[in-house]
Every structure is written in C-alpha cells, then in structure tokens.
Structure 1
Amino acid sequence: MEHKTGLVFFPAFDWAISPTHPEREERLLYTRDQLFEEGIMDLPQIAEYKPRLATHKDIARAHFCVPDVETQVTEAHLFAVGGALVLADALMNKEINNGFALVRPPGHHAMRVAHGNRGFCNINNEAIMIEYLRQKYGLTKIAIVDTDVHHGDGTQDMFYHDPDVLFISFHQDGRTLYPGSGFCDELGGPNAFGMNINIPLQPNTTDDGIHYVLDNLVLPILEDFKPDLVVNSAGQDNHYTDPLANMRFTAHGYASLNEKLDPDLAVLEGGYAIETALPYVNTGIILAMAGLDYSWVREPDYRPENFRETKEHMEYIQSLVSYLWEVWKNRAELGEEKYPRDGDFLELSRHIYYDTDSIREQQYEDIRLCDDCPGYQVIRSRGMYPYGSSKLIEAIGLHPRACKSCQEDARKLYEEKKKDYPGVDVIYLQDKPRDRYFQYSKDGDVELTDE
C-alpha cells in the first residue's frame, strides 16, 4: 500500500463558548486554507475522510455523563468524536498508515465523570476513541503521548487505574499554568502505578529541551512498553506565539517531534495562535506524518537565535528525565511501596473545579484491589452547581479484563445500589467486559445502545 495519511476536518461552526473565545472555529479554518493553498490536500499521500456521528454508547464507554449524555454533548461533540472514530476504523482496516483528526471541540480536560465543561472540554475524544478501539478490535496495550502545553488531566483521570494504557504528558509546569496539575508524583493508581508519566517543563522551554525529553525519556519508555497503538493528543499551544501559555516550541519542532514519535493516530487538542502558529504547525505535522519534506515550513518571524535553550533549563530537564526513567524502570517495586495491599479496596478522594461552568465536584473513589485482574472502581460524586443546585451520582466501572469474580461483584453491587436509590440522582454501570452500559434514575433502568 502506498503511504496514506488520513485527515478529518471538523471546525464545528455551530459550537463556541462565546464568539470571541480563543477556542473557536477559526482554529481550523486558517489551517485548511493553508493546506489548500500549498496543494497538500491534492497529494497522493493524503486521504481526506468525513466525520460521522458518534453514538451515546460510544460516549458511555468512557464517561459517566451527569445526568445523561444528552445533557453534556451537542451534535458538534458527537461529530468531533466521530471524526476520530472514522480514522480509527480506517487505520484498523489498513486504508491508511496513520491519521490526524483535526476536530473541535477539544477533549483532554474532560474526566471520567462529566458534570459540565472544564478547560473547554465536555467529553474526551481520545479516551472515547481508545475504548472504541479496545472493544471493536481487541487492542490491549495503548500509549497516549499528550503534547499540549496544558496537562492532560482528563485523560490522566480516565486511565489512572488502567495498567493497559500508558499515558505520558509533557506540559508547562502546573505551578504556572492551568489546570495546576501534572506533577511527577502523579504516577497512577494501585493497579497501574508507573503507567502515568508527567513531565512538567519550565516556561520558555524550546525545541531543544522538548526534543531532549522525547529522545531520552518518551521514546525509550515507548520502546520498552511496546504498545499496539500510539496516540498523539496533539495540542499545539507549546508554540512560542500562543496567547494562553509561555513556551518556545516552533512549527519545525512540532513536525520533527511527530516524525520521531510516529503516532498511529493524532487528535487535535489546544492551540490558540490562530494565524501565527496553527497553519504552520498543522502543515508541518501533516507533512511529517505523511513522510514528506517539511524542512521549508517556517513561521515568518522565526529566527534561530531566539530559540536557544538556557543552561539552567537543560540541567533541570536532564535531572527530570533521569529521575523519571528510574521511576519507570522500578515502577513495580515503587508501586508496592506507595500502595501496600491492606484490604480489598483503597479509597481516594479529591475536589475538582470546572472552570468554564463554575461547578465544584467532590469525588470519592473505591478501587478494587484484585490479585487476578485490574478490578473495578466505585465512584461517588457530588457536583455543586451555580445558584445552589447539586447532583449526586454513584458509578461502577469494570475494566475490560476484569476477572469473573470482579464482574459478578460489580454487577451485584449495581443491583444493590438501585434498591437504595433515594438521595442519589443517577446510578451507572460501565460494564466493559460485556460492552453494556446502564444508568438508573427516576426514569428507570436505561441501557445506552448504538441506536
């Protein structure tokens, strides 16, 4: 097969947080104009696909939407996810060698429980695509590399207890940028310790610093993990002109990164320098994924002397890479120290803020510690909304490889919780081994299907 890179464009003309918000349709329109102007869409190495609507069942594989999927998504969200699923099918059917879904709204800040919009995200495009790939094609080991300048806290949350999904995020240090997370000690839960790698970088890190991280940490970890599939959560706001961050990455740096990373699928995330970055960055990435020359891709104001890494930055990066490589190599032993087995469950709790919708969530999570499988999680979450209203949900999520005993326990627990329904707005069962998804509320027991 001649090399083919599949592309999906979905600018979502009918979805915006506000008319002047940084996350708006022009993010993709300038890129599309650039690609047509350069004749890239006419190249034989490029195949354009049209998005389709994802189903509510697709969303339920990844999310507990409060109070239901209809409340949290618009048609634009379903088309954005559907664009990623179209490329996933094309890849698995060997129509393309790799694919890039240039879609919006973005998704990597959307967590497993979704009370509303946070970080411009309602639902998580990559996570939904990954669950789709696991269910439909039986993939077992998947790696996600998040190159957005903001920590991919939603994607981290999705797979924090999943030993089959490796999540690596490099980003501007959370002490200096939203969402204020993504530190080195966020390494995964008791069933998946070490499968979550965060690389917080100092503001003004350049191509040299980011490529040092890629060459000396990200690529060696991927080589050791040997995933069936590599997904790039392709945020482009590390660019030196982005208005929402403070990094110094260039279009050529992004293209070179994608040539080295060689992702099977990439899904667009952030990037808000609509004219000065996105057309150049996306063009470079697409050329690199298609195996074409990207050496001529340069921003008009690019000057090499403005992008030299400082000695202090490189020393910090080298120390960080060395530390995280040791963590990766010794993750089994470190996980036992962090989470000594004491009982059948581990309880975790946290507070989550939805910056776009001003929702505050208090969440408690019981992690089943099983010796035979990745187990299941039981989540109790209360979302406190503006003007004093709130919703309380309980959710049970089974891992695709849950053993028979854990499956039986989780399904029994769902039935028991339905009997003790008063006070809870919605109860969910995410039964991934059977690919069946239920929610119980005042409307009764509803199964989400593809219809």
Structure 2
Amino acid sequence: MLKANNKLGIIFFPAFDWAISSTHPERQERLLYTQDQLREEGLFEIDGISEYKPDVATIEDVERVHFCFPEVSSVATRSHLISAGGAMKAADLVMEGERDCAFAMVRPPGHHAMKVVHGSRGFCTINIEAVMIEHIREKYGRKKIAIVDTDCHHGDGTQDVYWHDPDTLFISIHQDGRTLYPGSGFPQELGGPNAMGRTLNIPLPPNTSDEGFLMAMERIVMPILDDFKPDLIINSAGQDNHFTDPITNMNFSARGYATMNEMLKPDIAVLEGGYSIQGALPYINLGICLAMAGVDYSQIREPNYNPDKIRQDAQTTAYITELCEQLPDLYFNPPKFNAKDDGKQGVISGDSLLRHKQIYYDTDGINEVQLETVTMCSDCRGLFKVETRADSGPLCLGVEIPIDACPKCRNLGYHLVEEGLIKGTYRYIQLINRLDKEYLRYGF
C-alpha cells in the first residue's frame, strides 16, 4: 500500500442544489467527475489520505468578512455557507494537527466576491477563502497568512478584501487582465497606504504554458514567500489555466499544476475556477492531491496532452522573463503610496484615504457605487468605512474596526455607527468590530 508523506484531508461539496443554470460552466459536474476519478484511481486507499464532510458557515462567519446588503440571507444560499464551511473544515483539520494539509474541493467558488456584497459576480457571492482565513484568526489567534491565487482570472475579490491588511500577503498569478475578465490584476495594484507591497499581481500573456508558470513561481513567488515567512500558505486553486479550458486562453497542464503545488507546499488549498469538466479537472485535482500528500505524480496525464502542441513561443518566454526581473522589486522595495483620483488609488483628505469605486456584478446584472474611507493611522491599520448603493437602491453603511485597532479608531467606529443611526441617512448599517469580536447590523 502506498503511504502519503504528508497527511492530507480532502473535503468534497459538489453543491447538488446550486447552479447558475443547468448548462452553465459552474455546475455540480465540475466536482462529480473529479470525485469519480479520485475513487477510481484509488486515492483514498493511500495511507494518510482521508475524506471529510464540510461544516456549515454561520451568518457571523460571513459577517466577520463581508458587508452583505441588505443581509447575508438575501445574497447567499445554504450551498454558499456549506462551501465556506468546507474551507473552514480544511482549516480546522490543519490548525488542530489532525492533518498536515487539506484540500477543500467545494463550490460555489468565492475569489471574485469583494468586501461589500450585493449579489454575485464572476460566479462568486461570498469569499470562501476570506471566510476561512478570518475564522482561523478568530479561533486560533492573529496569523500572518499568504494567499497564492493560481486561478486564470485575477482574484479581484480577495484583493479587495485584503487591500488594507499588512498581515495578509496576496499574490495572484493569472492571465493578463487586458485579455480576460475581470480586467484587473496589474502590477501597479500594490495595496492600500498601510499595506503597500502586500498585494502582488503577476499577469501572464495568453498561451503561457508550464514553462512560464513555473518560471514565475520559482523567480517571483517563492522568494517573496521566503521573505514574508507566513504562518500559513493558502492556495486559491483555480484550474482554468488548463489548455482545454473553454473560457480562458492558457496552456497549463495537469502535471504542471502538480509541480507548481509541490513548489508552493500550501497548508490549505481551496478550489476556485476550472471549467474543462471532463478533460482537465479530474486529472488536475488528482495531481494536486498527490503533490500535497507527497506522493509521486509523474504518471498524471490528461487526454489530448501534447507538450509540443501547447509549448509557449519565444516571445512569451522573453516577456515572462522580464516580469520575473521586475516584479519582485515591487514587494521588496514598494514605491511610496501615490494617491490620485483615478478611482483606484483614491485621494487623501485630511487623515483619510478616499476611494470612489464602481463595481458591476456580471452574474446578477447589478451596478454598485462605493465611497471607501480608510483612516491613515500611525497606531493601527486604520478604521474602514464604506458607503454603498446598488443600482437605485438605498444608501448603506459599513464600518470595520480592525483587529489591531487603536482606541482612537475604535471610538471613531462606534461614533460613525451612532451618527448614522441618529441621522437616519442609511437604510442598512453593519458594524464589524474585529478587536472586540462584535458584529452588529441595523435596518430601517
């Protein structure tokens, strides 16, 4: 019998009762074919690999991360809560020492879900990795965490959630946003004024193959992780970089994914995208599981794999080589924060940074406008405030007192909520108080 070098926990949740439509790429078959493949290959007969059932995230678990308007139950289904709970289960297995590592193969996905949620965008409603990470911090104490998002689409939601968090390193390696949804994820996106350099984007050109991905991992991602020294490494394990994926333009292979995972050595992996349901996902997931468990994956080979046919050209290699030369410096020597009124970096007014944002929920057809305000505090990461309105709906207020809040920012947070209640300016108000673990919601 084969024996795993690393004890691996696998959590499945195909979400039988949730789909955007019966023919949509994001549907239950994404995991059913994988589940069958893993069993046929005898994965669970390997000593040290075990399967677990997901937990169910609570409303408070979601409200620890998101401002959901008008409330969590109006935007998220039970399947979303179980998907997030599956990620939380993976975290508990690792944090409590039952498993060395864990892979949450769950859906619906989450990495396009931003701090504020009015609906679904990019097939995502709540950010399951963020819910998991903040569950870890709430239950096991403050941790330095690195998220490496390997989905083909930029993880704009996760970036938004952790834009102002110096304890979270977010690295996204993805197809260039000039060629693919959501049209973001460029090198100049480096984080807020108190977290500059904690966001790093690696936009790769279409048709990048194993060579380019692994080069970027070796020369950019790994040196930065070695310097950051996270307590945990999380892989947002999107699989739509595969050469057969129907909605992207990359040339990554199943064995390439396994090699990348072997390099990264994540403590926890959470499934994100990947829509080649039969031709790629079963093989990619098998390769990732074997790599996480420390078992030989050299025989992994998907149908129609021809390395010569998908090999990247010399121009692509040269472009990625240049990225590898330039991008690490954005982390090791981040530029001074430069606020400007371009709707992205924002403007500084007094002791606060203001950002105007317009967000389109493509899955639900919702337009949102936001005014985000962050206190430029020298004693903590700053109080976070957001005023938000979806389409012609009511104005809503979200206030977050950070986990390291100083007394001044804590008091200001309560003052803003009380002022909003007295004046009646907002239809819904939500307070996230990470310092005191207090989560309040008001509606009128």
Other-structure match for 2:122: 119
Greater mean deviation of Cα atoms: 396-405 or 122-131: 396-405
- SS state at 1:362 partner: strand
Output the CA distance in 2 between the equivalents of 1:185 and 1:403: 29
Output the CA distance in 2 between the equivalents of 1:179 and 1:336: 24
Counterparts in 2 of 1:44-63, with a 5 A limit?
Answer: 44-63=47-66
Matching of residue 355 in structure 1 with residue 362 in structure 2 = yes
Output the CA distance in 1 between the equivalents of 2:248 and 2:6: 35
**1:377-436 deviations in whole A, cap 9, x for unaligned?**
11011101xxxx5232111112211112211211122111111124x2201111011111
Output the CA distance in 2 between the equivalents of 1:342 and 1:174: 30
Matching of residue 312 in structure 1 with residue 315 in structure 2 = yes
Output the CA distance in 1 between the equivalents of 2:17 and 2:98: 30
Amino acid at match of 2:443: S
Counterparts in 2 of 1:268-347, with a 5 A limit?
Answer: 268-331=271-334, 333-335=335-337, 343-347=350-354
Q: CA deviation at 1:118?
A: 0.5
Matching of residue 189 in structure 1 with residue 203 in structure 2 = no
The count of corresponding residues between Structure 1 and Structure 2 is 436
Greater mean deviation of Cα atoms: 403-412 or 163-172: 403-412
The answer to whether the 8 Å contact 1:162/1:399 transfers is no
Other-structure match for 1:219: 222
Output the CA distance in 2 between the equivalents of 1:8 and 1:139: 25
Matching of residue 434 in structure 1 with residue 436 in structure 2 = yes
Matching of residue 178 in structure 1 with residue 181 in structure 2 = yes
Matching of residue 27 in structure 1 with residue 30 in structure 2 = yes
The match for 1:371 among 378, 395, 406 is 378
The answer to whether the 8 Å contact 2:251/2:311 transfers is no
- SS state at 2:390 partner: strand
Other-structure match for 2:75: 72
Counterparts in 2 of 1:394-409, with a 5 A limit?
Answer: 394-409=397-412
Matching of residue 102 in structure 1 with residue 105 in structure 2 = yes
Output the CA distance in 1 between the equivalents of 2:194 and 2:143: 16
Output the CA distance in 2 between the equivalents of 1:320 and 1:228: 27
Output the CA distance in 2 between the equivalents of 1:78 and 1:258: 27
Output the CA distance in 2 between the equivalents of 1:231 and 1:258: 11
The match for 2:168 among 165, 180, 188 is 165
Other-structure match for 2:236: 233
- SS state at 1:437 partner: strand
**1:2-34 deviations in whole A, cap 9, x for unaligned?**
731010000000000111100000000000100
**1:181-237 deviations in whole A, cap 9, x for unaligned?**
111111101111111101111100000001110000000000000001000000000
The match for 2:210 among 171, 195, 207 is 207
- SS state at 2:326 partner: helix
Q: CA deviation at 1:98?
A: 0.4
Matching of residue 88 in structure 1 with residue 95 in structure 2 = no
Other-structure match for 1:447: none
Q: CA deviation at 1:100?
A: 0.3
Output the CA distance in 1 between the equivalents of 2:349 and 2:79: 46
- SS state at 2:395 partner: strand
Amino acid at match of 2:296: D
Output the CA distance in 2 between the equivalents of 1:342 and 1:390: 27
Amino acid at match of 2:431: L
Amino acid at match of 1:310: D
- SS state at 1:151 partner: coil
The answer to whether the 8 Å contact 2:354/2:372 transfers is yes
In the alignment, structure 1 segments of 5+ residues that lack a partner are 443-451
Greater mean deviation of Cα atoms: 57-66 or 316-325: 316-325
- SS state at 1:79 partner: helix
Flag as ranges the 4+ runs of structure 1 deviating above 6 A. 336-342
Output the CA distance in 2 between the equivalents of 1:310 and 1:405: 56
**1:218-273 deviations in whole A, cap 9, x for unaligned?**
00000000001000000000000000100000000000000000000010000000
Amino acid at match of 1:374: R
Matching of residue 382 in structure 1 with residue 389 in structure 2 = yes
Amino acid at match of 1:437: Y
Q: CA deviation at 1:300?
A: 2.2
Output the CA distance in 1 between the equivalents of 2:384 and 2:155: 21
TM-score if structure 1 supplies the norm length?
A: 0.94
Amino acid at match of 1:427: I
